[in-house]
Amino acid sequence: MHKVVLFTSQDIGNDIFAYLHARPDINLVVVTQRTKRDEIYGYRATLDLCLQENVRVLTPSTFDNSFLTEIEKIAPNLIICAYYPRIFPPRLIEIPPLGCINVHPGLLPEYRGTFPTPWCILNNEKEIGITIHFMDENIDTGDILVQRSHAIGPDETGHELYRRSMRLCADLLIESFDQILRKEITARPQRPGGSYYNFIDRQYMIDWHQPRQAIRNQVRVHAKPYFPAYSYLFNRCVLFNKVSFYNPDGYKAQGAGIICKVMNDMKFVVSCIDGCLLVEDYELFPTSSSDDVKLHIRVANRF
């Protein structure tokens, strides 16, 4: 019987929990929490599953001496961290003989930190990497066990990629779990260098003097259910949920932020410094009628 402590939150916790709980050779304890993000973004709280399945669950507010002593008493063979939002102290990392492993949505040593998925989009990456690695005293720097890459969809939003990254991380962990448990994978040190992303602006006001690729990426990253990228048009705020490149033959940019075409369905084309974007999904706020939209979304009006 293997004792495993799973530190987790959000959707990934449910997938890993279901796998480990179904195994008769695993004695599982879960460390998790319920957050406002679960309610706001529709994540499944692993805490509910633990209570439903009568699995021991701990919900510490801090990693204090009392909590660390409790984990030492459990004496796990292995600790798994899957999207748990706290840094592990050295004392915790040193407890399990098989180590602490983390599942991370970045191709380490690139994309360390808490915000790898939106920055993959902002940096025009075509793929997202998934890494399972040992944890050490630093953030996302431990030896690598398994890595895999997956294509990023051309219109995939920041939220869509974030949620899919959780499924991909869970799938890779489940696929590799027995090999990790049997110590059949030789870990390798991370190469020098890499990148670190621990911050992203929660809101983005569009700068129409940026290249259209950069604007489109920001729109994707901030699309609903996050607060969408926005711009002001006279006395209204326009929220942008989807834009695409607009490249008809002979069509030229007409100046940053100028509306240069309006379709019958009220989609519209806006000019950037290096081309045009078709605005396919947007909201005008505040607005009271379709006439109000037509008044603002009009050729030659400028953001």
Could you tell me the pTM of the whole model? 0.94
> Would you state the CATH architecture of domain 2-181?
3-Layer(aba) Sandwich (3.40)
* Portions of the chain given CATH number 3.10.25.10: 212-296
Q: Give the DSSP H or E segment for 161.
A: helix 158-181
Tell me the C-alpha distance between 26 and 41, whole Å.
31
* Portions of the chain given CATH number 3.40.50.170: 2-181
Indicate the fold that domain 212-296 takes in CATH.
Answer: Methionyl-tRNA Fmet Formyltransferase; Chain A, domain 2 (3.10.25)
pLDDT digits 0-9 by tens, 33-86 = 888 888 888 888 899 999 999 999 999 999 999 999 999 999 999 999 999 999
pLDDT band at 288 (very low <50, low <70, confident <90, very high): low
pLDDT digits 0-9 by tens, 212-266 = 999 999 999 999 999 999 999 999 999 999 999 998 776 666 789 999 999 999 9
Tell me the C-alpha distance between 296 and 303, whole Å.
10
